[in-house]
Amino acid sequence: MDFIYAFAKEFLSLTWMVLPYFLAGAAFGAALDVFVKPEFALKHLRGGWGSMAKAAILGMVMPGCSCATMPMAEGLRRKGADLGTVTSFLLASPLVSPQTLVLTGAVLGWKFTAARLLAAFFGALLIGAIFIWLERNRPGFLDIPAAVPEKKCCSGCGCGKEETEEPKKFWPVFADILKDLGKYFVLGMAIATLLTVLLPAGVITRYIGASGPLAYIVAVLAGVPLYVCEGEEIPLTLSLLKLGLGPGPAFAFLLGSVGTCIPTMIMSQKLIGRRGLLVYGAFWLVFAFGAGLLFSLF
């Protein structure tokens, strides 16, 4: 009974603190999804440094976790974007979204929020530059088939006409975002509460240290393969900070845990190839580790 009481108290306290920001972020994300048309952005994303910067910004303002970014990334490729633009979008999109940015500021503070924005933008440019170089100077290394444009046909008609989509409306999109993210929000709160209730204070510093090399290694190796859907990583990071993990390793965990997942990695082979996938995965490990180290300096 003591455990149930402690769990319920901590869960309700954490949820009450975060819920208003979660709802506000979801509303902002729904508004962007309704009023920002992907077609407008796609025509400005062909290739080069300017295109990569725009792709990074687009990825950060369009709601969606890393698995949800794949159709958009494929759309970029089909419209002629180079691999630098595509991979910039792939990296930035899961790291920042309107709802997670609001949550990060509310729960972890402005330093984590600013660092998350900067890491997403400059990390996207860096991975894009790597793939531009590979595409231009080592084309055989990636060995990617050329993208073939496709058209949507109205389902079942066989007429060859493009399917027309009905205009999106705010409240249905808002409800969809809550439906998609709500379960991950609750799960994240539950896991964070369990960590806080079950693990004694100081256990992390006792076994791996607060900000030593082992703390960074464990944070990155746990975060990158773990993958949590957007928003879930924020209460988890907060609980790790409460348990004594330093800000640098905690930031590395935050980036790594939200940026990759097995379905995304499998689907991305179609866009960047198997060798490109290895480059992308290795970059994520180095990126999360390095971003955590830089964050600890400020």
In the predicted structure, residue 161 carries a pLDDT above the cut 70: no
Please report, rounded to a whole number, the percentage of residues in the chain having pLDDT higher than 90.
Answer: 15
- Mean pLDDT throughout 30-59? 74
Banded pLDDT at 86 (limits 50, 70, 90): confident
Q: Name the percent of the chain in helix, strand, coil, to the closest 5.
A: 75, 0, 25
- Higher model confidence: residue 38 or residue 274? 274
Question: Do residues 177 and 29 lie in contact, with contact meaning Cβ atoms separated by under 8 Å?
Answer: yes
- Higher model confidence: residue 297 or residue 20? 297
pLDDT (tens digit per residue) in 174-214 = 888 777 667 767 776 787 678 777 766 666 666 666 777 88
In the predicted structure, residue 118 carries a pLDDT above the cut 60: yes
The chain-wide mean pLDDT, for the chain, equals 77
In the predicted structure, residue 296 carries a pLDDT above the cut 70: yes
In the predicted structure, residue 126 carries a pLDDT above the cut 50: yes
Half-sphere exposure of 127 (CA within 13 A, CB side): 30
CA distance 211 to 62: 33
Burial 18-57 (b: 16+ CB within 10 A, else e): beebbeebbbbbbeebbeeeeeebbeebebeeebbbbbbb
Banded pLDDT at 153 (limits 50, 70, 90): very low
